[in-house]
Structure 1
């Protein structure tokens, strides 16, 4: 069950924030690959022509080691800049620790980076938040919403969204393997709920799946006679 998130990243180590402070609009868009490679150093920056920012202006920034004008796109001046990333930023964005898809370009502001990302689930987002906070990058969550699964599998079998999420997590973690690879306590911790609530979600979800596959209790009783 994917989730769409909007959040603000804040850290004195984030690159290009000082550029946002210097332009009249106090913001600009950029595209980077930090969610794919934690040491990605190439950023594509989109600036309004009225800002009158040059390659020399970009090179004057402490973190910029190379700047190349790429022309104009969608009415904006486009630059490719190579950044000398701070170690904490390089480490905080560790794609092997979470999966995220950038939905819109990053908006760089004097307060930090505004991001809109798609995560596999709530746990994946929490993984990124924990990782960033460990390295001194604050995350202010602005919004988070759950997306309906493709094909609406949960509706197909009569599961609630939470039952579907719990069962999917349990299967992925090896709960139904023999022997079990994870406990209900560990699953509950990942979902941020109590162990009794997790057990209840699994039990009700399992019953719903069995009922969908085998029919109602009346039909089962009839077959068993």
Structure 2
């Protein structure tokens, strides 16, 4: 029976990690277009953060040759990026076993989500069996940093919000109960932060990540194509 895994790969050399570090207040999701040879195109979905800062980060990134804005919807923007480096060129100084990296492409696995973070990738993937997952996780444990968050057997899809952290649940519930989402708002971000005894910036990040996940699991699946 197949497995579903959510995990982190900690490796500063992974593509677009520098971009995520430059715009830490944005959520950066990556899709790889493998039909473009050894330099697969990047399709990036950026939510939140400054559009100018994000696009400046693309321009300055050593692993991006050029980029194009495909379209946008609210705070969500989609880009196509042409990589400046092959995976071997990008990871060669960090990973000794490049042959093992190539072998991962033949693993019976499907990575369905990549969130780029300032120090690596957070991914969700399907693996045909325990051996396939072990091959994948063992490679990254040996060559970088690997942290498993969740491993389950395949099952019916989780209800929306199932993947939220406890802190994100708490932030959403508190903000809702205090009237932060009312029109007009009955409370401020600072008041929500005071109730949770954390900083306003921390509340903002928790709410943004929670809202991004909920939108992706509900509304985003029914959106029409983004317009320019």
TM-score, length-normalised on structure 1?
Answer: 0.55
SS in 1 for 2:21: helix
Q: Name the residue aligned to 1:143.
A: 150
Contact 2:71–2:77, Cα closer than 8 Å, also in 1:
yes
Residues 94, 139 of structure 1: alpha-carbon distance in 2 compared, 3 angstrom cutoff: same
Contact 1:107–1:115, Cα closer than 8 Å, also in 2:
yes
Find out whether 1:99 has 2:108 as its counterpart. yes
Deviation, structure 1 residue 124: 0.1
1 CA distance for matches of 2:108 and 2:37? 12
TM-score, length-normalised on structure 2?
Answer: 0.55
Q: Name the residue aligned to 1:47.
A: 46
Gaps of 5+ in 1: 150-225
Contact 1:9–1:112, Cα closer than 8 Å, also in 2:
yes
User: What is the aligned length?
Assistant: 146
Q: Name the residue aligned to 1:72.
A: 72
Residues 40, 2 of structure 1: alpha-carbon distance in 2 compared, 3 angstrom cutoff: farther
| RMSD (Å) for aligned C-alpha atoms | 2.9
Find out whether 1:126 has 2:134 as its counterpart. yes
Q: Name the residue aligned to 1:110.
A: 118
Deviation, structure 1 residue 5: 0.3
Gaps of 5+ in 2: 157-228
2 CA distance for matches of 1:127 and 1:37? 25
2 CA distance for matches of 1:123 and 1:42? 29
Residues 132, 49 of structure 1: alpha-carbon distance in 2 compared, 3 angstrom cutoff: closer
Q: Deviations over 1:137-165 (max 9, x none)?
A: 3221111012269xxxxxxxxxxxxxxxx
1 CA distance for matches of 2:48 and 2:26? 14
Deviation, structure 1 residue 87: 4.2
